Structure 1
Amino acid sequence: MELDVKNLDGKSAGKASVDEAIFGLTDIRADLLHRTVRWQLAKRQAGTHKTQERGEVSVTTKKFIRQKGSGGARHGSRNANIFVGGAVAHGPRVRSHAHDLPKKVRKLALAHALSSKVKDGSLIVLDEAKLSEAKTKELSAKFKALGVENALIIGGSDVDQNFAKAARNIPNIDVLPVAGLNVYDVMRRRQLVVTKDALEGIGARFETKAKEGK
């Protein structure tokens, strides 16, 4: 499978060969994408939210009302959840929200995410993502010529610093090295821009995962 390659000026820069098993899937599995995005977001949750329970509330333990004859309900402690300043019933506790997801599922989901961009015509391949100077105005004009408005840009093993600095001031543009490629960031942007170096890195990444799975 071959994809058209462009330079930052929007001109043709040849072709790039890619693996159809990574970029050429036609039946996109939304369930795999959903499971992987949910797994990623769950790992990000801090899980530090906490409320005080009965044993943690500092109030008097003295019985504050007589058992009978008050005309109201019978209570033994002020730390009950129905009183102001009391505990919270069944409140959140500190815990990890992370859960397991098999490596094969994560690998397949990434292939489906990449293929979905090709299928939608939202994948742009650049020969390189480099700038001589970190000028946001210059890069913004180049993006406009390419038709890039809301995109994730994947560079090689190292992202050009001038390019990254110029891009970070442009709304709805994310720049990551190929090692940072993930399903959530691919799906949250309308377009995916990858360099030729990134394509090689993606291919090597899938080969490594295939060897690990054997």
Structure 2
Amino acid sequence: MKVAVLDNKGKDTGRKVELSDEVFAIEPNEHAIYLDVKQYLAHQRQGTHKAKERAEIAGSTRKLKKQKGTGTARAGSIKSPVFRGGGRIFGPRPRNYAQKLNKGVKRLARRSALSLKTKENALFIVEDFQMEAPKTKDYVSFLTSLGIQDKKSLVVLSGENKNLFLSSRNLKGTEVVTASELNTYKILNAKNVVLLEGSLEGIQENLGK
């Protein structure tokens, strides 16, 4: 599949780049996408939630009232969950939410996500460029030239591009990542994906295995 290469002004350079069909033109596997996104979101959870249970509450251990004859339920401790300030029953405990997923399934999910964007005409290939200084205004002009300034966008770099990254940092709805940081969730979370030409080799090499 051949796709036109644009410059950073959004104009056609007259060149075309060959995209691998096995990465950008497969039949999307929705279940693989689901599994990969589920794993990514699970890994974002810190798992540090904690509530004190009965044994961890600070309080007297004396028996509150006599066992019989009060006409009310038995009560042996102020730390009981039925009293205000008592421990919590089956409260959350710290845990690890990490999930395992085969590398093959993850690659399939990412190929499926990229293929969806290609099918929706939401994938742009832009020739590599550098910004002389980190300027948000110049980055907005770049998105405007592609017609995606008001939509969620993901810009994928081949490697470190400090000025481009810093220029995007103050803006909501857009994200700049390197090819090695690309994942299924980021692809699908963006309305449009912009791949700098230099990132294609690494993406196709990693996902085409």
TM-score, normalised by the number of residues in structure 1: 0.92
Please report how far the alpha carbon of residue 76 of structure 1 lies from its aligned counterpart in structure 2 after TM superposition: 1.3
Please report how far the alpha carbon of residue 171 of structure 1 lies from its aligned counterpart in structure 2 after TM superposition: 2.5
Aligned amino acid, residue 188 of structure 2: M
Number of residue equivalences: 206
Residues in 1 aligned to 2:187 and 2:41: alpha-carbon distance in whole angstroms: 14
Residue deviations 1:127-149 (CA, integer Å, cap 9, x gap): 11421232221221231121123
Q: Is the 8 Å Cα contact of residues 157 and 201 (structure 1) preserved in structure 2?
A: no
Where does 1:125-204 land on structure 2 (aligned, <5 Å)?
125-149=125-149, 150-158=152-160, 160-204=161-205
TM-score, normalised by the number of residues in structure 2: 0.94
- Structure 2 CA distance for partners of 1:89 and 1:129, relative to 1, 3 Å: farther
Residues in 1 aligned to 2:139 and 2:186: alpha-carbon distance in whole angstroms: 21
Residue deviations 1:26-67 (CA, integer Å, cap 9, x gap): x32222212111101111211000011121111111111111
Residues in 2 aligned to 1:166 and 1:129: alpha-carbon distance in whole angstroms: 13
Which residue of structure 1 lines up, in the alignment, with residue 28 of structure 2? 28
Aligned amino acid, residue 152 of structure 1: L
Aligned amino acid, residue 42 of structure 2: A
Residues in 1 aligned to 2:129 and 2:190: alpha-carbon distance in whole angstroms: 18
Q: Which runs of 5+ in 1 are unaligned?
A: none
4+ runs of 1 displaced by more than 4 Å?
A: none
Please report how far the alpha carbon of residue 206 of structure 1 lies from its aligned counterpart in structure 2 after TM superposition: 2.4
Please report how far the alpha carbon of residue 83 of structure 1 lies from its aligned counterpart in structure 2 after TM superposition: 0.5
- Among all aligned residue pairs of Structure 1 and Structure 2, give the percentage whose two residues are the same amino acid: 31
Aligned amino acid, residue 123 of structure 1: L
SS where residue 132 of structure 1 aligns?
A: coil
Please report how far the alpha carbon of residue 82 of structure 1 lies from its aligned counterpart in structure 2 after TM superposition: 0.7
Residues in 2 aligned to 1:151 and 1:129: alpha-carbon distance in whole angstroms: 18
Residues in 1 aligned to 2:78 and 2:171: alpha-carbon distance in whole angstroms: 55
> Which is further off, 164-173 or 33-42?
164-173
Residues in 2 aligned to 1:93 and 1:130: alpha-carbon distance in whole angstroms: 48
Residues in 1 aligned to 2:188 and 2:102: alpha-carbon distance in whole angstroms: 20
Which residue of structure 2 lines up, in the alignment, with residue 60 of structure 1? 60
Residues in 2 aligned to 1:136 and 1:52: alpha-carbon distance in whole angstroms: 47
Residues in 2 aligned to 1:130 and 1:170: alpha-carbon distance in whole angstroms: 19
Aligned amino acid, residue 2 of structure 2: E
Q: Is the 8 Å Cα contact of residues 63 and 77 (structure 2) preserved in structure 1?
A: yes
Residues in 1 aligned to 2:19 and 2:193: alpha-carbon distance in whole angstroms: 15
Q: Is the 8 Å Cα contact of residues 129 and 163 (structure 1) preserved in structure 2?
A: no
Aligned amino acid, residue 156 of structure 1: S
SS where residue 124 of structure 2 aligns?
A: strand
Q: Give the RMSD, CA atoms, in angstroms.
A: 1.3
Q: Is the 8 Å Cα contact of residues 153 and 175 (structure 2) preserved in structure 1?
A: yes
Aligned amino acid, residue 88 of structure 2: V
Aligned amino acid, residue 75 of structure 1: A
